[in-house]
Amino acid sequence: MFELRTDVSFDVGDYIVTPYPRTTCKGHGLVEDILAVLVGTSQLRCGPGPGVETAGALRALVAAHVAQGAPIPILVPSGPKKPKHGATVDMAELSALKVLAGLHQQVSDLYPPSLEMALRLEDVTGWVLEGAVARGSIRRYLADMEALVATLGMDYLHPVRESGMTTEAAFRTEVDVLEPLLLAYLRETDAWERDDCDTYRALCAAGWRGTIPKEQRMFYRERYQRLYPQLSWDQATALMARYFATTLARVRLGASGALAHWDQCVQLNFAPPVPGAPRMGTRLYYRTAPVAHTKRHIPFWRARGYLHVAGGSVRMGLASWQEELSLRPMVLSLTRGPHVVHLEASYAEAR
C-alpha cells in the first residue's frame, strides 16, 4: 500500500482508494460479460457505445484471449505534458488511473488473467510538435506519470515512452517526409473531398488509410484557433498536417506502444472521438472521471484536475487551463518503496 502525506482535515485517502462505479454484468457468458465491462456504461464511457463492427471485433479479440487463458491487451494512448508550461500530474491523472484500476479489477473478478495494459507516453511527438521550449515540461510530466503508476502499485500497467521505441531523429525524418504529402492533400480536397486525385494516391502510398472528412478538419481547425486566436485558416491547416504526419510516422516506425508479444489489442482512448473520424477496429472511448463526479470530460493530460470538498466528502473536478478557479493549494505526497510522486491536488470548498 502507498503512503500518503497531507495536512488537510477531509479524507482524501478514502477518495484515492475507493473504486469508481462498476458495470453490472448480465450473466450472458464469460466473453459477453468481459465485453460488457470493457464497453462500460454512460458513467465512464465517452459518447455512445461501439457500433456493430467494433463490437464484433472486440468480441473476437476477447474470445481469442480467453480461449488461450491469456490477459486481454489494452493500449492507452496519452499525451506528452499539460498545456501549462511547468505543470505536472494532478488529480486528473489520478482519476484516469482509478478508471483503469477499476476496469482491471472488475475483469479480474470475472477472469483472473484479466488485462495487460500499456500506457503510451508521447515524448517524441511532444518534442517534434512543441519544440525545445517544452522539453523540460515533458521530461517532468512523464517522470511523474511513471512514478504515479508505480506508487499506486499498478504492475499490470506498463508505461511505454515513444523514445524507447524510436529515436527523435528517425521520427523527425518521417514527419518531414509525410507533412508535405498531407498538406498537399488537405489543400487540394478542402473544397471537395475526394479520393481520385494524385495527392491522395501519394498519401496512400505512404501508408495512409481513409479520407479526412470535412467534420474532422473543422474540429482540428477550431481547436487550433481556440488555442491560437490569431491563427489563419492556412496556418491551422499546416498544424493539422503536421499533427497527422506524427500519427502516420508512429505507425510507420512501429511506435504504437503495443507490447512486443501482442498481435492485437483494444485501444482505450481518453481523448473523445473526433467528429467525422471512422469508428471501427477495437477502439473504446473513456472519460477521465465518471459523470457522478463531473459531467465535464477533458483528456487527463489536457485537464486541470482538482477536488470539490463538501461536508468531508470528496469528488473530482476538471477544468481547462484558461479558466479562473478559486482553489486552495494542496500537494499530496505518495510513496511506495523507492517511488515518490508529489501530486497537485488543489481543492474547492463548498460554501
Q: Where are the beta strands (DSSP E) in the chain?
A: 3-5, 72-77, 115-121, 157-161, 266-269, 283-285, 304-310, 313-319, 331-336, 339-344, 347-349
Q: In whole angstroms, what is the distance from residue 158 CA to residue 43 CA?
A: 25
Tens digits of residue pLDDT in 129-168: 998 889 999 999 999 999 999 999 999 999 999 999 999 9
Task: Write the CATH number of the domain with boundaries 17-165+256-295.
Answer: 3.40.50
Average pLDDT (44-57) is 92
Give pLDDT, residue 1: 47
Give pLDDT, residue 146: 98
- Domain residue ranges of the chain, discontinuous segments joined by +: 17-165+256-295, 169-252
pTM of the model: 0.93
Tens digits of residue pLDDT in 81-107: 999 988 999 999 999 999 999 999 999
Give pLDDT, residue 351: 61
Give pLDDT, residue 19: 85
CB under 8 Å to 246, separation ≥6 — which residues?
Answer: 125, 128, 129, 171, 175
